[in-house]
Structure 1
Amino acid sequence: MTRLLMPLALVAAATLVLGGVWPTPYDPTTTVGAPWQAPSPAHLLGTDVLGRDVWSRVLTGGGRLLTVAVAAALCASSIGIAGGLVAGWSGGLVARLLTACADLLLALPSLLLALVAAIALPWQPAVIVATVCGGAPLTLRVVRDAVHTIRSSGYVEAALLRGERPASILLREVFPAMRGLISADLGLRLVVAIQVCAALGVLGLGASPPAPDWALMLRENMTGVSANPWAVAAPAIALGTTTVLFALVAQTSFHEHENRRPDRAAQEERPHA
């Protein structure tokens, strides 16, 4: 069952990203009825504060948010992986400097960084900056520790004896051995990026009206939650389901990585044979 989570997450991501180009019952930015109408056959989830169809806005409200979150997660993981590989392999002063920079960034609250960045930058770069500053240091520390362990493995020592360069060993031997760990970390960075996107949107620093956006829908429809609860519940459920799905993917990837470690240990003896 857990093996289905990764394909399911990829399908969900593609669905949300491509949702903006799919036909919807109504134009998500156009008023089609009275504000706060209850669900009906004409409007499955009712209408929002401006009389727009909630179902149409939910269908199209995740594409931009998830696209920005994926970009932010990829940037954070890439920077953290690169720093972790260098710190774990080189050691010494370089590792201490990189770790000190990571510790300094970890001491700063991610949401505070996001708020400061959102004031100076558009919300999309602000999400990327906050995710990188808050996530890359964690990735660096995780990858650094993994590289420390893998460096003493038999197949890495064999590559060193063959005269391969450190960069080649890191890319061809060390990096593939951490695929499960890196997949799990990327899933966690994606969860954090989605949370940052949602937080900025609810605080009014995210997408601008009348754009369909799940976080913006929460902010706009809070005052009418008693009239049409689905105007708030639907985007909240969409955000929560997406976040939980990627968190489960991250957990599954981590468990698969841990389960494969004994097999990898058995393979370490092969270069010595």
Structure 2
Amino acid sequence: MAGLKRGWWPLALLTLILIAPELAPHAATDVVGLPYSTQGLLGTDHLGRDVLSRLMHGGRPMVLTSLAAAALGTGAGTLIGLVAAWWRPFVLRPWDAVAAVPGILVLLLVLTAMPNRAGIVFAVALASVPLSARVVHAAAAQVIGKAHVEHAKVRGERTAWILGREVLPLIGTTVLADLGLRFVMAVYLVAAAGFLGLSTMSSDWGLLVVEALPGAALQPVALLAPVVGIAVVAVSANRVADRVGEWA
């Protein structure tokens, strides 16, 4: 309880989202009442399905997909940023071209060839790599010239060892903060994939938003629930990243 009071409540909230499908009162596809009725805590959607159950079933795949994409993008960006800081910044030049393409367009292009969840993960990670690489490059460039790194060079340590043991630990907080930002970006892009009908997840929160739009006047909760859910996940992820950074 004390940990939650110190700011760890977002972690508990994200954990709740991950186990929510096991606690949902109905399956995501079950018809439980009339369309746009007030039956249940959040009412029903345009097909009479329970909004709360669909929300609970859609949270876990969205969070896990976003986390996988953010981790992949940050991991690749960290590697590229370290290499660019150690050798030459020109390593970043090809990624500047990727950064010039809007993330949603990258998503559309990749999903044309890979219309599945793996495609969403790859597309979101690809859109994240250039920014992560720039952040890590800027942080690592301030560390590489320090005395302990120079001593490691003189001792004949391998480059991979120096970057992994002497440089990366000193920029770990920056990498964690960047991971939090990439996760938020991933949540938005994964939700956008559902909104555009490109997601394979039947209860994707973006899909819930687009399905609720025609009946927003009749059942506004069905629209507000996934929108608020996306915002809560984004804020919670940033809070968790902040707490981990402070602890590190």
Decide: shared fold, TM above 0.5.
Answer: yes
Q: Which residue of 2 aligns with 1:213?
A: 204
Conserved? CA contact 1:111–1:130, under 8 Å: no
Residue 222 (structure 1) aligns with? 213
Pairs within 5 Å for 1:242-253: 242-250=233-241
Q: How does 1:1-273 map to 2 (within 5 A)?
A: 4-5=6-7, 7-20=8-21, 22-38=22-38, 40=39, 43-91=40-88, 95-96=89-90, 98-207=91-200, 211-250=202-241, 256=246
Structure 1 CA distance for aligned equivalents of residues 181 and 155 of structure 2: 37
Q: For residues 97-139 of structure 1, what are the alpha-carbon distances to aligned partners after superposition, in whole Å with 9 as ceiling and x for unaligned?
A: x211111111111111111222221242332233222211111
Q: Distance in 1 between matches of 2:207 and 2:59?
A: 11
Counterpart of 1:33 in structure 2: which amino acid?
Answer: G
Matches of 1:153 and 1:13, distance apart in 2: 39
Cα shift at 1:249: 4.2
What are structure 2's unaligned runs of at least 5 residues?
none
Q: Take 1:86 and 1:10, find their aligned partners in 2: how far apart are those partners?
A: 33
Match of 1:271 in 2: none
Residue ranges of structure 1 left out of the alignment (5+ in a row): 261-273
TM-score by length of 2: 0.90
Is this contact kept in 1: 2:57–2:203, CA < 8 A? Answer: yes
Deviations 1:225-254 (A, max 9, x none): 111111111111111111122234456667
| Identity percentage of aligned residues | 34
One-letter amino acid matched to 1:72 = A
> Using a 3 Å threshold, how does the CA distance of structure 1 residues 3 and 37 change in structure 2: closer, same or farther?
closer
Against the structure 1 CA distance between its residues 165 and 136, is the aligned structure 2 distance closer, same or farther, given a 3 Å change threshold?
same
2:29 partner amino acid: T
What is the Cα-based RMSD across aligned positions, in Å? 2.3
Contact 1:88 1:148 in 2 (8 A): yes
Which amino acid is 1:75 matched to? L
**Structure 2 CA distance for partners of 1:143 and 1:2, relative to 1, 3 Å:** farther
Count of aligned residue pairs for this structure pair: 246
Counterparts of 1:150 and 1:2, CA distance in 2 = 34
Give TM-score, length-normalised by structure 1.
Answer: 0.82
Partner deviation per Cα, 1:170-202 (whole Å, 9 max, x = no partner): 111111111110000001111111111111111
Give the greater-gyration-radius structure (CA).
Answer: 1
